[in-house]
Amino acid sequence: MRKLVVGNWKMHGGLDANAALLGALYAAGRQACPFAVCVPFPYLQQAQALLGSSSVAWGAQDLSEHASGAYTGEVSGAMLKDFACRYVIVGHSERRALFGDTDERVAAKVGAAISVKLQPILCVGETLGEREAGVTEAVVERQLAAVFARCGAEALAACVIAYEPVWAIGTGKTASPEQAQAVHAFIRARLSAWCGEDVAAAMTILYGGSVKPQNAAELFAQADIDGGLIGGASLVAGDFLAIVAAAAS
């Protein structure tokens, strides 16, 4: 298992605010836990310019499943590579719920990312209704299985997995450490079945859902939680760096 914390800025930012935030991350220097930021498309050049000589990685929040073509408004993996992205978030719950990204489309996007040597951060997770119905594991397995079926074990193993209970994103609610750990352990077990025990043990599985400096250490202390995919707290340098420090301890 490898520790990692990734900030997801979502649709936030501006050139001046970004410069201050990225400057603070640059100034923090190398941390015991690797960390990265996934920024809106227009700010990838700024991230590359300000972080290029640092240990901080950067990436995008989505990509097209297509390599090129008449797809107005879409951004290809090759375009992201032009800005030296390392990561790309794929299948975030907001993309699934608001923009119609099906399991099959998410799997295609994973394949597109892998084909240009981007590392997908593959998001999986259940809604509140699905949790209350007792189908959390079935939903998560279905989302992972779509990638395995289309792309194969090697591509799935190349992903960072992010478990994000939809009911805990932007709501202020957080899965308890025990709830989160149970799903992370289930994910690692499924990865072990598909990719092999040693491969699964080395894969990074992040938790995403209202992670804050106040709850990060308890979440990251769980055996199968390797770090976090951080939303709102990643927009405040001090909070984000505190979460990074919690993942390293």
Over residues 31-60, the pLDDT tens digits come to 999 999 999 999 999 999 999 999 999 999
Separation of alpha carbons 111 and 67, rounded Å: 11
Residue 161: HSE in the Cβ half-sphere, 13 Å Cα cutoff: 33
Encode pLDDT of 205-241 as tens digits. Answer: 999 988 999 999 999 999 999 999 999 999 999 999 9
Nearest alpha carbon to residue 160 among 126, 187, 130: 187
- Say what the pLDDT of residue 1 is: 61
Mean pLDDT value of segment 155-168: 95
Catalytic residues: 92, 164
Helix (H, G, I), strand (E, B) or coil at 219: helix
Tokens of 198: 């040693």
DSSP E strand boundaries for 12-104: 35-38, 57-60, 87-90
Mean pLDDT value of segment 157-176: 87
Separation of alpha carbons 43 and 46, rounded Å: 5
Contact 94, 69 (CB under 8 A): no
Which domains occur in the chain, in start order? 21-248 (3.20.20.70)
Residues 6+ apart with CB under 8 A from 110: 90, 91, 120, 122, 147, 150, 151, 155, 156, 159
Mean pLDDT value of segment 188-215: 96
One-letter amino acid at 225 equals I
Rounded to two decimals, the pTM is 0.96
pLDDT for residue 172 is more than 80? no
- Say what the pLDDT of residue 174 is: 73
Separation of alpha carbons 240 and 245, rounded Å: 9
Residues 6+ apart with CB under 8 A from 36: 4, 5, 6, 7, 56, 57, 58, 59, 86, 87
Q: Are strands 35-38 and 87-90 parallel, antiparallel or unpaired?
A: unpaired
One-letter amino acid at 43 equals Y
Encode pLDDT of 117-159 as tens digits. Answer: 999 999 999 998 999 999 999 999 999 999 999 999 999 999 9
